[in-house]
Amino acid sequence: MSLVVPPYPPPRYTADEPEVSAWLKRDGEPPDYDAFGHVQYHYLANQQDTGGDYGLYRVRIAPRGGGPGPHFHRGMSEAFYVLSGTLSLYNGTDWVDGNAGDFLYVPPGGVHGFRNEADDPVSILMLFAPGAPREHYFEGLAQLGDLSDDERHEWFVKNDNHFVE
């Protein structure tokens, strides 16, 4: 066993005594946002909760519920962990099936997409790092039909979603 320890991040908590600051979110709570029954979002730990470190969301997509085509983010990584069902994942080259237990990591700038093409619902964890106000993005998708093409493009850019052909 090596005694050499790889470098850790510098301390961010510097008080002499620990604090009671942990919090728990229980399974079974209603979604924080329900997009017309097609996609349900549970905001497990958002940007505000984590001081900007990350955002973690549990997402349920209805059967044949679709999803975004190939896109990338400039300011954050995104990771997907399939909890149940089958999620079609675009890894930048091919659409592949992700099943329960599968994980896809996408660094900033990495082209990716996802969608539920199956006849059953899919449940996933989505992790964004650093944290970003993705709740604004998720909840704003319902209003896209009210925007002009230029306004829609600007909205996606402001939300760090850059679609590719």
Of the candidates 159, 141, 140, 128, the one whose C-alpha atom is nearest the C-alpha of residue 44 is 128
- Alpha-carbon distance of 130 to 135, in angstroms, equals 14
88-146 pLDDT, tens digit per residue, is 999 999 999 999 999 999 999 999 999 999 999 999 999 999 999 999 999 999 999 99
CATH architecture of residue range(s) 39-163: Sandwich (2.60)
| pLDDT classification of 17: cutoffs 50, 70, 90 | very high
